[in-house]
Amino acid sequence: MKNKPIYITFLLGLIICLLLFILNLSIGSVHIPFPDIASRITGKPFLKASWETILMEFRLPKAITAILAGINLSISGLQMQTFFRNPLAGPYVLGISSGAGLGVAIMVMASTAFGWVIYFGQLGVWSIIISASLGAILVLLLISFTAWRVRDSMTLLIVGLMFGSAVSAIVAVLSYFSGAEQLKLFTVWSMGSLGISSYTQLLGLLIASLLGLLPALFLLKSYNAMLLGEAYAESMGINIKRLRWGIILSTGILAGSTTAICGPIAFIGIAVPHMARLIFKSGDHRILLPGSAIAGAIIMLFCDAISQLPGSAQTLPINAVTSLIGAPMVIWLILRRNFSKEF
């Protein structure tokens, strides 16, 4: 009986996620009525053939990408807040997304900056995903090394911001020496977009998401002990070294692959785990991890629906929308919650 409200909350979350998913398929420059979308999901054909093309070629992969991006970034943020025991940790705040951006910048712009020749061809999707993940893991390793020497949350936050600034400076140098076409590609990518161009990219993101989630699922039971300190976790028989590498690899792959495909997306990683704690009223990671995943998917679908500008053919950059919604949300959470009692 005690856990029944939690199951009801999970069920409500899944229903809201499904409704927003159908809404995202419905709205855009060409409006497809909500009932027609619901009927098409049950197997009935559309009245217009063009709707089928719009749905299958554009809106369906975009909506699935929004769900995967929300899940990946929110779980990355939850793992980082647990790993650093810092409520302000997140892939965007600590420069992890900037590290992924550096990997993408090297792949996109280094060919003209340094005369390198990088083969994109059929391996293009995976080369971008792997380079972004390596960039994210590199910055995460540097932050981890700093965190083992510095325990103060504010100092760690400042160091993370400095890492992000240093990476941004390297990207600026690459931009200065790159060609106009590569610079335009990188600038458009940096604005953030869920509108991936092919199912190949969606398949790459899906596989990377599954690979990134595996360490988190295997190590889930150890996360609660990690919040109480490494000494306590070791006394419980937890292999701290394996736990650290598992979190680093998982976060790097999840945040790196999402940033590679969708561009940098702010505030989802830091805000959603706190929302999950507030909604489910629990610090148990067996509840927080699926709760953060559902909440992340809902927020990203909601932000994507707003970015569509219903009734207009224009689309706002998704990073701008998440920032406009996420920044006030984080400020409200900081003012409302006493983080010192939770970390």
Residue 294 identity: I
What's the mean pLDDT in 275-291?
88
pLDDT for the residue 21 = 92
Residue 317 has pLDDT above 90, yes or no: no
Say if residue 148 is exposed, middle or buried (CB neighbours under 10 Å; 0-12, 13-18, 19+). Answer: exposed
In whole angstroms, what is the distance from residue 48 CA to residue 63 CA? 21
In tens, the pLDDT along 205-218 reads: 899 899 999 988 88
Which pTM value belongs to this model? 0.85
What's the mean pLDDT in 141-150?
74
**Would you tell me the crossing angle of helices 285-307 and 268-280 to the nearest 10 degrees?**
120
* Spatial contact of 297 and 70, defined as CB atoms under 8 Å apart: yes
Residue 5 has pLDDT above 60, yes or no: yes
- Looking at CATH, the fold of the domain delimited by 6-335 is given as ABC transporter involved in vitamin B12 uptake, BtuC (1.10.3470)
Residue 128 has pLDDT above 80, yes or no: no
* Spatial contact of 128 and 208, defined as CB atoms under 8 Å apart: no
Residue 121 has pLDDT above 50, yes or no: no
Q: Average model confidence (pLDDT) for the chain? A: 81
What's the mean pLDDT in 185-198?
76
Residue with tokens 């690979």: 211
In tens, the pLDDT along 28-74 reads: 878 888 888 888 877 787 778 888 888 888 889 999 999 999 999 99
What's the mean pLDDT in 12-31?
89
Residue 119 has pLDDT above 50, yes or no: no
Three-state SS for the chain is: CCCHHHHHHHHHHHHHHHHHHHHHHHCCCCCCCHHHHHHHHCCCCCCCHHHHHHHHHHHHHHHHHHHHHHHHHHHHHHHHHHHHCCCCCCCCCCCHHHHHHHHHHHHHHHHHHCCCCCCCCCCHHHHHHHHHHHHHHHHHHHHHHHHHHCCCHHHHHHHHHHHHHHHHHHHHHHHHHCCHHHHHHHHHHHCCCCCCCCHHHHHHHHHHHHHHHHHHHHCHHHHHHHCCCHHHHHHCCCCHHHHHHHHHHHHHHHHHHHHHHHCCCCCHHHHHHHHHHHHHCCCCHHHHHHHHHHHHHHHHHHHHHHHCCCCCCCCCCHHHHHHHHHHHHHHHHHHHCCHHHCC
Q: φ and ψ at 337, to 5 degrees?
A: -105, 150
In whole angstroms, what is the distance from residue 323 CA to residue 303 CA? 10
* Spatial contact of 279 and 295, defined as CB atoms under 8 Å apart: yes
> Residue 342 has which token pair?
């939770």
Residue 1 has pLDDT above 50, yes or no: no
pLDDT for the residue 261 = 84
What's the mean pLDDT in 104-111?
76
What's the mean pLDDT in 230-234?
76
Q: Which band of pLDDT confidence, cut at 50, 70 and 90, is reported for residue 120?
A: very low
Domain ranges, ordered by start, for the chain:
6-335
Residue 150 has pLDDT above 70, yes or no: no
